[in-house]
Structure 1
């Protein structure tokens, strides 16, 4: 059986205030063609289909169009909910969908597989929707479910019980933060309370393949356990991570092979670092005029209207940051703390200059001027 593993579509997300709907539609259309060209039997979408629990109308339209297009290739489709989705809203769609499209949102159905057969027999797909311990412990009052690790371990126990009752190969689908992943800062949910949200890898023992979602970059935690990542870049922190999906082949004995299928990137992301003049060089403008640009300028002092100047040449400049050279190496004391510890007027002025210049203190000539002005003030006060 041939399976395509994708996840984290995040339909409805914006990128620095710009809708990603058209770009995502382009990428998902390419994914449908991959399913058709590779004669895929089953498509797995491992959570975070929507970016919000209250998606707007166009998000439903794009999801519906994509699921119908996938179904028209002849493939079966299995979708689970993630931490961004509303399981109730996503589950509502299930009643309206045609045969062969399965939306799994009910935790109580974890041990009941979606079964698809090929010439080698049945393959049982066990969908695990995102499980928030405080919400799902009502379903299993006798189990201790305080952490993601405990909750996912319980869910996988239900999967293994289902496997014992159903002969054949098996695939589990989950949306969680597994041990050993390399997360994108600021995007995936932070690991809290000393790692309580991290799910150990051995929790996933049993099935022939584990299709995971939640991490936006592709990850291979073992031959059997993988993240597909998001099909579109949603942050400059992801710009060097490939977009695509896993093509998984099962033979009669279980997992046979896994291949990465890259997806197109509608608009590249690039971070340009240097002085503002260097960033606005002829070479950069020629190479990146059509890209999403994050500009990190290193001038000692803040420059006038940097975003306006950048957008004049980089239409899709989305971010501008001032990071003067050496600024990160200076003492990380707040302006208020520096003022509080300052003893002399000279120290107070120097603290002010460092604050407004992003860490750049007075030059030697400026120090001389400060001393002269303060000396003149002292002399004037002495005459009063």
Structure 2
């Protein structure tokens, strides 16, 4: 009974947060998945490996151009599989495919060095057949018939032309000699309805020609969320979350068994992943800057006490401050607060998203309002919108008007200073009370 591991969207070299430790996470995650579900229990005992082969359905790498240590990471994992006698079959995704007009890629390099099999359709425009069997000498081919009795076919990254490519793939499958057993197709594209704001997604009906052509297992990649459809379309999702938003997605690695009774694909999620914690605080507009800071600290402390946030695990934490605030946004030192919260939570990465709007007031005034009335209401609106001054807004507004009038009267600076000092003294006294 054939068994294989289906993974996708590994993204070695991920660098979105400019954090070297986070970049290493993607390597350690891949290594753990391979050891745990493919070879860990096989090698010491000398028995056959846990799986017959491994599928990588695109985006092994984050970038087309690699730093040497990222290539070394890929080679380290692939060497383990090679030493265990487990073939790796891969296709390029949109992140690691060769640029237009370029004849090679890093996946092609790994294939030439017999670290994996890069399954690619031929160039029909140059007279090549669309699907040729794997040629071990040339290290080229579009499909391979494995000793376990499974035929695996590759494909390319097609982007918006995917529906037409599917028709060509299905027609080409029909021209091949009979498969020795089940047929698996690697395809890097996503289906509509799985995630929001995804342009160019395929409809399920677009895939049906593949099923009619005899594909038993469609191994997808591209969308970082796990889903499966009708018992033959499977997308494991990314091994690690590529963003905070992706933390809510179920994702993992498929261990798949194919027997006469059908396909059994089990999503494995029990492997090394860095925890991601998302916190949210709604502000009402009445808090001072100090109260907002204290609220944020208390929220993180509560998450720790409840076990939702575990400092020992060095999680990635996001805190969103939403709602309204009664002070200018620049009054909150976001950078300083973020550093304090990162230290408190021992987070590898702490993202503080200050998304609250400034509370505004606009007093209704009729067209007959005098200049003095308009002026007073402007001062009141500005003061009321600030949590530090709103309780004394009428008195302070009158004080500002008095200050303006004294200035216009040409009063000496000591008189102006005396008025300001009296307003500040009165405010401090009321705060102490």
Let me know the Cα RMSD of the aligned residues: 3.3
Q: Which of 113, 116, 120 is matched with 2:145 structurally?
A: 116
Shift of the 260–360 alpha-carbon distance from structure 1 to 2, 3 Å rule, reads farther
Shift of the 44–76 alpha-carbon distance from structure 1 to 2, 3 Å rule, reads same
Superposition map of 1:129-278 within 5 A = 129-132=156-159, 148=160, 151-166=161-176, 167-168=178-179, 169-182=182-195, 191-192=198-199, 197-205=200-208, 206=211, 207-252=215-260, 255-274=262-281, 275-278=295-298
Shift of the 91–236 alpha-carbon distance from structure 1 to 2, 3 Å rule, reads closer
Question: 2:406 and 2:66 mapped to 1: Cα distance?
Answer: 68
- Maintained 8 Å contact 2:29/2:240: yes
- Maintained 8 Å contact 2:379/2:397: no
Name the structure 1 match of 2:344: 313
Shift of the 365–266 alpha-carbon distance from structure 1 to 2, 3 Å rule, reads same
Name the structure 2 match of 1:335: none
Alignment of 1:85 with 2:96, yes or no, is yes
- Maintained 8 Å contact 2:297/2:341: no
- Maintained 8 Å contact 1:9/1:49: yes
Question: 1:249 and 1:47 mapped to 2: Cα distance?
Answer: 21
Structure 2 unaligned residues grouped into runs of 5+: 42-48, 99-103, 124-128, 133-141, 282-294, 361-372, 411-433
How far apart are 1:153 and its partner, in Å? 1.9
Question: 2:274 and 2:203 mapped to 1: Cα distance?
Answer: 36
How far apart are 1:346 and its partner, in Å? 6.4
Question: 1:21 and 1:381 mapped to 2: Cα distance?
Answer: 61
Higher strand share: 1
- Maintained 8 Å contact 2:341/2:350: no
Alignment of 1:65 with 2:76, yes or no, is yes
Shift of the 252–86 alpha-carbon distance from structure 1 to 2, 3 Å rule, reads same
Name the structure 1 match of 2:32: 30
Question: 2:164 and 2:12 mapped to 1: Cα distance?
Answer: 30
- Maintained 8 Å contact 1:2/1:41: yes
Choose 72-81 or 36-45, whichever is displaced more. 36-45
- Maintained 8 Å contact 2:25/2:273: yes
How far apart are 1:60 and its partner, in Å? 0.8
Structure 1 unaligned residues grouped into runs of 5+: 133-147, 184-189, 332-342
Shift of the 368–58 alpha-carbon distance from structure 1 to 2, 3 Å rule, reads same
SS at match of 1:313: helix
The structure that has the greater radius of gyration is 2
How far apart are 1:370 and its partner, in Å? 5.2
Superposition map of 1:317-356 within 5 A = 317-324=349-356, 327=357
The superposition leaves residues 232-263 of structure 1 with CA deviations (integer Å, 9 ceiling, x where unpaired) of 1222212233442112222257x421111124
TM-score after normalising by structure 1 = 0.75
Question: 2:85 and 2:31 mapped to 1: Cα distance?
Answer: 15
